[in-house]
Chain A
């Protein structure tokens, strides 16, 4: 590629990034402004009012460390939803990976009849609209008593998550050489140590990617939480929606920042695994 073309490409990427970031900047300004309306280019007045209303920042005059602590431990709705989202996300991620591990190993390493069909059936929840299966599921969940429970929400989050996790991990195992494990065994490592010393380091990068998918899918889940949680399990997406429908832009922007911040943080720390440079998505073979 010649140099000019290279430069143009780089600029194009910067431009793309800017377009992606612009709404975020608008969010930020909105969240810290007071009555910012069209056609003003910048808000007339900056304010923490939205944050105060969300009970994340104390009222003026109480902004000491104790003030913050008092406010946060009084468990405002946002913090509660944040904690719910985090716990559900982490729990569901861990469970999905533990379930996917043996399945992905078999699918990645062995060849057998109907393998493609099985993979297709497993992936099908991703192409099915959630509303299609959740209505049916809801009846079962109600009769089992899972409806409106934390457990039920976790369970239903697994439905859209599992295909991503199993598929990502199958990819790792497709390039994985199980002889490494056997080599370790003949050198005196028992099954447990072989898993932690040999298998885990080999699949870890891919597992990070799978975990990232799992967490983000759970994190942004609205419909399933709404229907199965029956309003009793409040997560951040639910709070974002209900706030947005109340029509206060500053409030909506503030809560949206709370919503996207963890996702950005996670992406930031895992991006090196997702980029093409890592062996994560190609398994052990390339390391």
Chain B
């Protein structure tokens, strides 16, 4: 069991006009793999360093298994971090690197040796124990760093952009390896990345962070279907936003009345944005939809191999729609078209 709670976490640095980490709250359940996602400089590494104890937060608390980590020195927290550039100790060989955490615990040499072999097997590097780190490739160094981090069964594993220094195909392989090992050992893990696709492929939940603030914290799927705000929606490729006003429990927009049944309907303010994924919009030359059907004109058609993208203007509002393969036959730029926004696919956001 290792539940992590981050409560009202704040960190300021001299010379920055905003907090590097601003009032972040989130809870990670035992065994979960959570991605911290955000652009460079948004504070991801700073949060990790506060969890490990390198930085002391200016405010807030970090609680692991209902006990605050803050008064505990780094080495006793049971939190292991794998740094962006691996940081294998250069004058120790691979075996010594991997066994480091056990040696610190004063464990018997033979036991360490056996455990090191197990860990190297786990990361699929059985035969390199006596090499020095600089004799390893980037991918191998990454695996050794992972083995070294996991050997002492940490309560919490922090991975800071573990894949960013690898080339593309190695990245896929390492990503799969990380997920497999994480599930196998069931270790609660935070994974930092600025690659949205990587986060989606890997994480149980994604914490989206901009400028030190947590924007959204939910499952990857929800970022596509039920994002919390426009920023989150845009980061995941959302393009359609319809400004709407709530009047007597109905949503009125520039394109007309929108029938909305989203589960968050009672939390919505009077002015909201409604969003829908391009692939969830339906098009037809005739009006054969029973609700949320709007008449517009085709502005452009782009064929991209697997999909065809349409830009459609309805009353000055531009919507983007994506249909599989060739899309609709016999339709041209400027033609009139009926656009259907299925009520179970649209999603309202307060900001």
Contacts and interface: CB of A to CB of B under 8 A. Distances in A.
A182 B74 contact: yes
Contact of A189 (B90, B91, B104): B104
B101 A187 contact: yes
Please report whether the interface of chain A is mostly helix, strand, loop or mixed according to DSSP: helix
Given A188-B152, A198-B89, A182 B101 contact: no
A186 interface: yes
Nearest to B160: A179
A201 interface: yes
Contact of B80 (A187, A202, A287): A187
A197 B92 CA distance: 10
State which size class the interface on B falls in: 20 to 34
Interface in B70-100: 73-77, 79-81, 83, 85, 87, 89-91, 100
A261 interface: no
B170 interface: no
A193 interface: yes
A62 interface: no
Contacts, number: 58
Contacts of A201: 91
A180 B91 CA distance: 12
Interface string A163-205: 0000000000000010110111111111001000110011000
B87 A188 contact: no
Nearest to B97: A187
Contacts of A190: 73, 75
B277 interface: no
A186 B87 contact: no
B52 A186 contact: yes
A187 B100 contact: yes
A187 B87 contact: no
A189 B75 contact: yes
A188 B101 contact: yes
Nearest to A189: B104
A187 B152 contact: yes
A284 B89 CA distance: 11
B245 interface: no
B75 A185 contact: yes
Contacts of B101: 187-188
A187 B148 contact: yes
B328 interface: no
Contacts of B169: none
Interface in A84-130: none
B331 to A, nearest CB: 57
B329 interface: no
B91 A187 contact: no
Nearest to B82: A183
B105 interface: yes
B317 interface: no
B54 interface: yes
Nearest to B133: A287
A187 B52 contact: no
A183 B104 CA distance: 13
Contacts of B73: 185, 190
B54 A182 contact: yes
Contacts of A184: 89, 100
B89 A186 contact: no
A183 B87 contact: yes
A149 B20 CA distance: 55
Given A177-B87, A183-B83, A183-B87, A188 B52 contact: no
Contact of B75 (A180, A188, A197, A287): A188
Contacts of A185: 52-54, 73-75
A184 B100 CA distance: 8
B64 to A, nearest CB: 14
Nearest to B74: A185
Nearest to B76: A188
Contacts of B89: 180, 183-184, 197-198
Given A185-B75, A186-B75, A190-B73, A180 B152 contact: no
Contacts of A182: 49, 52, 54, 74, 81
Interface string B128-158: 0000000000000000000011001000000
Contacts of B104: 187-189, 193
Nearest to A188: B104
A187 B77 CA distance: 10
A52 to B, nearest CB: 50
B100 A186 contact: no
Contacts of B77: 186
B47 to A, nearest CB: 14
B85 to A, nearest CB: 8
A188 B148 CA distance: 11
Interface in A255-279: none
Contacts of B148: 187
B81 A186 contact: yes
A179 B52 CA distance: 12
Nearest to B148: A187
Nearest to A185: B74
18 contacts: A179-B83, A180-B87, A182-B49, A182-B52, A182-B81, A183-B81, A183-B87, A185-B52, A186-B80, A187-B100, A187-B152, A188-B100, A188-B152, A189-B75, A198-B89, A201-B91, A284-B90, A287-B90
Given A184-B100, A284-B90, 9 more contacts: A182-B49, A182-B52, A183-B87, A185-B54, A185-B75, A186-B80, A187-B148, A188-B105, A190-B75
Interface of B: 49, 52-54, 73-77, 79-81, 83, 85, 87, 89-91, 100-101, 104-105, 148-149, 152
The 8 closest A-B pairs by CB, nearest first: A188-B104, A185-B74, A187-B101, A183-B87, A186-B81, A287-B90, A188-B75, A189-B104
Interface of A: 177, 179-180, 182-190, 193, 197-198, 201-202, 284, 287
